[in-house]
Structure 1
Amino acid sequence: MIRAGIRDALDRIREDFPAREDLKILLSLCDPDEMGYLHATACIVRNTYCQERIALRALVEISSVCKNSCRYCGLNRYNREASRYTMRDDEVMQSVRLAAKQGFRTVVLQSGENGCSSQAIAQLISQIKQEFPVAVTLSLGERPWEDYLAWKQAGADRYLLRIESTDDELYRSLHTDRALSSRMECLEQLETLGYQVGSGIMVGLPGQSISTIARDIQFFAEKQFAMIGIGPFIPHPQTPLAKAKRGDLNLTLNTIALTRIVTKYPWMPATTALGSLQRDYRKEGLQAGANVIMPNFTPQCYKNQYVIYPNKQSKTENKKSLEQLARRVGLSIDYGRCDSLLPGWA
């Protein structure tokens, strides 16, 4: 039984800019029928604006070196137990080659911040674009304008830079040496340079509230990113937040669903974090409106060294298993580049 107030709130956020109070009501849903109604609505929106398909992104974690001290991340510079590596170019190319051979048309190069020099990244992008018919997505953190420009000129197509929270006080509590304004400036620079830009948040961070998440969703509705990643907070044992409570699954799924409903167009991954809980919940993420899977193509010798959070799902999945997952949720795999779906994007 779906309460009339829930239907009304959902109708309002579909038709107009979402009010925070409506978002808070819908984020708090825990009744299975009402959650199912919310998630089914998100899937209708996804299928209408993005088609009934899943995009594939091949993830390659090129370096675990990071200069930052983010309190939630296992790669933070104060974690003396973290293993540090930087892949050689030939190792990265081999990973991209393997992904391209399996039909992937997007590769995501991810690293800790300042794990690689700007010139090295530019050369790597150029080499990838010359050899393979793939889109290159970067997830390398906050960098100077000059780096973003050099990488775009080298052929990079997209950039992922998660805000984690739009609450300035919460952001400062998580990033002792960073300001939210700096991250916002980087996002604006990336858009100006013509990147397809993605962002995202973690759900369940210490100090985060339902109201905070509602404000994040309003931010996504206003900015209209090409990609939005939402996953649960998972505490890492070698971080200051080691004893914090893990993010709630239902709240994470509701956040995915509401973000889908109010933004309509973005590519939204069923994140690796969803696949790293008690069991793999990526299917539930897809059933809440997500439409991207990011299999990990990092070489096996490095996978266990890129530990942002514990028990990270990192197995390399084959096409058969991915297609089976898609069929289980009534979708098909799109092996194309799957560029931005935002209106006006050429």
Structure 2
Amino acid sequence: MKHLIDKLEKNRILTKEEFMYLIENRTPETAEYLFERARAVRQKYYGRDIYLRGLIEFTNYCKNDCYYCGIQKSNKNASRYRLTKEQILECCKTGYELGFRTYVLQGGDDPFFTDEKIIEIIREIKKGYPDCAITLSIGEKSYESYKSYFDAGADRYLLRHETADEEHYSRLHPKELSLSGRKQCLKDLKEIGYYVGSGFMVGSPYQTDENLVEDLLFIKELNPEMVGIGPFIPHHDTSFREFKGDNGELTLFMIGLIRLMIPNVLLPSTTALGTIDPYGREKGILSGANVVMPNLSPVNVRNKYLLYDNKICTGDEAAECRSCLENRMKKIGYDVVVSRGDIRTEAIKGE
């Protein structure tokens, strides 16, 4: 088992069969060796720095009905909201004062926010905070829309592919959405020049180990700057409410594999990890992650942006959230830094 981890670290890829063997036969000892190597590789590029991303969840309206998502269109129990441009800018102001230099504008696929509105928001943020990066996470759009956001000043785009298997994709999404459409969006984003982020859920309904290997191979082919993965957690108002969602151990293993596969990737330790395990975000960092994403959204809307049940930190003020995460990182030997957190293409000198 260790020889396969060594091979992955050296070659940055394994065969489908080798990945399958690693995942199916993993043990706590194998996992610890993987995490040790992942930490060493991450340290070559990022030292002990942890990058902050300020999450602004600006709308929970969505025109889609993804079966796993708590803000799906058909959830009549969701309490809907939209932030105004002024509220979004206030979140940015608060974040800047707290040391955030990347804002992540995340929302459902909400037709209310036309390209013109999104462009205006991007320009206002860039005008007020020219030294900050803007990441968008607002779903599938046309090439022209993506290009207009980029030209307005957006730097990065998060669009998780969720699963690289077509049949599995169709079991997680309504027929209006397709894997080919999602892949085309990712291709468009890369072509335009964004920092691109993709990723997937671990333990989603009907997922197999083979699906996970296909996800790894797709990620390697895409070669994104960012990869966001987290455990599937069910939401009580979706058709997947009965599915089990405790997949933290396997999620950490996948983080370690991705770090060895793309050594300099920006890899978050997600809120979902912290939701299923009180020390989940720390474990994510110790598995090879190097990004955390505290919430900058107004406290009065945080418990309305629930993609899954029992989401943590919905009642914390932004300052509390940042301070809490900084202390958590310090306890495991890492430093939260004031930085845009761009990808590093060269190893740190002396490492």
Query: Which bin holds the TM-score, normalised by the shorter protein?
Result: over 0.9
Alignment of 1:290-305 (within 5 A): 290-305=289-304
User: Which residue of the partner structure matches residue 344 of structure 2?
Assistant: 341
User: Which residue of the partner structure matches residue 349 of structure 2?
Assistant: none
Deviation at 1:259, TM superposition (A): 0.8
Report whether the alignment pairs 1:55 with 2:51: yes
Deviations 1:124-153 (A, max 9, x none): 000000001311000000011121111111
Contact 1:39 1:287 in 2 (8 A): yes
Choose 75-84 or 330-339, whichever is displaced more: 330-339
Contact 1:171 1:180 in 2 (8 A): yes
Report whether the alignment pairs 1:128 with 2:125: yes
Deviation at 1:114, TM superposition (A): 2.5
Choose 23-32 or 161-170, whichever is displaced more: 23-32
1:164 equivalent among 162, 165, 184: 162
Report whether the alignment pairs 1:266 with 2:265: yes
Alignment of 1:1-346 (within 5 A): 6-16=1-11, 17-28=13-24, 31-115=27-111, 116-132=113-129, 133-176=131-174, 177-314=176-313, 315=316, 316=318, 317-342=320-345
Contact 1:13 1:22 in 2 (8 A): no
Deviation at 1:323, TM superposition (A): 2.6
Deviation at 1:319, TM superposition (A): 4.5
What is the DSSP-based 3-state SS (H/G/I as helix, E as strand, rest coil) of the residue aligned with 1:273?
helix
CA distance in 1, matches of 2:71, 2:345: 33
CA distance in 1, matches of 2:332, 2:220: 26
CA distance in 2, matches of 1:9, 1:218: 16
Percent of aligned pairs sharing the same letter: 37
One-letter identity of the residue aligned with 2:37:
T
Q: What is the TM-score when the length of structure 2 is the normalising length?
A: 0.93
What is the DSSP-based 3-state SS (H/G/I as helix, E as strand, rest coil) of the residue aligned with 2:271?
coil
Choose 122-131 or 273-282, whichever is displaced more: 273-282
Listed as ranges, the gaps of 5+ residues in structure 2 are 347-351
What is the DSSP-based 3-state SS (H/G/I as helix, E as strand, rest coil) of the residue aligned with 2:306?
coil
Q: What is the TM-score when the length of structure 1 is the normalising length?
A: 0.94
Listed as ranges, the gaps of 5+ residues in structure 1 are 1-5
CA distance in 2, matches of 1:335, 1:242: 39
Deviation at 1:318, TM superposition (A): 4.7
User: Which residue of the partner structure matches residue 3 of structure 1?
Assistant: none
CA distance in 1, matches of 2:81, 2:144: 25
One-letter identity of the residue aligned with 2:206:
G
Deviations 1:245-296 (A, max 9, x none): 1141111110111011111111111001011114241000001000001000
What is the DSSP-based 3-state SS (H/G/I as helix, E as strand, rest coil) of the residue aligned with 1:321?
helix
Deviation at 1:29, TM superposition (A): 5.1
One-letter identity of the residue aligned with 1:122:
I
CA distance in 2, matches of 1:252, 1:288: 10
Contact 1:266 1:342 in 2 (8 A): no
Deviation at 1:221, TM superposition (A): 1.8
CA distance in 2, matches of 1:291, 1:7: 23
User: RMSD in angstroms over aligned alpha carbons?
Assistant: 1.4
What is the DSSP-based 3-state SS (H/G/I as helix, E as strand, rest coil) of the residue aligned with 2:199?
strand
CA distance in 1, matches of 2:322, 2:70: 30
One-letter identity of the residue aligned with 2:159:
L
